[in-house]
Amino acid sequence: MNISSLHNRLLIQRQYCQQRKTTRKHNMSVEILNNATFFYTCIQTPTKKYESEDTEWKTSAVVDKKSAKEWNKKFKKQPAKELDNAEFVEKYKVDAPFPEQDEQYIIKLSQNTHNADGKAMYQPKVYQDIGNNNVVDITNKKLVGNGSKGKAAYGVVENKFGTFAKLNSICIFDLVEYGGNANPFGNVVEDENDAAQREAYKPSDAKAAKGKVKDTPKPLADDLDDEDLPFN
């Protein structure tokens, strides 16, 4: 493993350790949802909740019938939504991920950007599987488009209202990169000066200084172990 690969792996481990600390603090265990096809993924930029000013990170994972049945047994207050194939195609404008089934099962995973006290929550991560048991963090580099395939890590929360799943991170092995803001003149190639200028000016930092946006907590140092990664 070269120095660059080692550095990236250590960074990912550090980020996940911070997420793991958050889940431990709130008595959450982290589990994996396999063989998912993702739609409406908003992780790089959060989105407003329905009829609310509160914001959240979210994704919708389409899974097979067996996984959906297991999910519904555990998360009775957060069941998979069921659409027949024709309804699914009409809504999502793509072929059904599991055409051998009569229905498609959609599980919504989300995480609030702030808790009830207004404290910023840790942003979920997007990883890309690059083979050989390695992943790279693409959270702020690539947008996950509809139809991307992979798996999701989620925290299990139990309280007096029931058992719920909170989005932790997703790992993509077949990326359909979102191109909603494609440049009509071709791909933009960034040179060193462009990168330096972009790094020097961060609108989110300016807003945070005015009290409009709360900073995301910085990752903390922790013991790093390969087994700590959710996608390993």
Tell me: the pLDDT tens digits for 8-60? 555 555 555 555 554 444 556 899 999 999 999 999 999 999 888 899 999 99
Mention the CATH class of domain 3-228.
Answer: mainly beta
d(CA 79, CA 86): 21
Q: Which DSSP helix (H) or strand (E) runs through 9?
A: helix 3-25
In this structure, of 101-105, 115-119, 213-217, the range with the lowest mean pLDDT score is 213-217
Q: How far apart, in Å, are the Cα atoms of 132 and each of 25, 194, 232? A: 32, 33, 10
CA distance 45 to 123: 10
pTM given for the model: 0.69
Q: Whole-angstrom Cα distance, residue 214 to residue 45?
A: 14
Report pLDDT digits (tens) over 135-158.
999 999 999 999 999 999 999 999
Q: How confident is the model at residue 192 (pLDDT cuts 50, 70, 90)?
A: low
Model pLDDT, residue 167:
97
At a CB cut-off of 8 Å and minimum separation 6, what does 189 contact? Answer: none
83, with CB counted inside 10 A (0-12, 13-18, 19+), is middle
> Using one digit for the tens of pLDDT, what is the confidence trace for 194-225?
555 445 544 444 444 444 434 444 333 334 34
CA pair distance 210, 110, nearest whole angstrom: 27
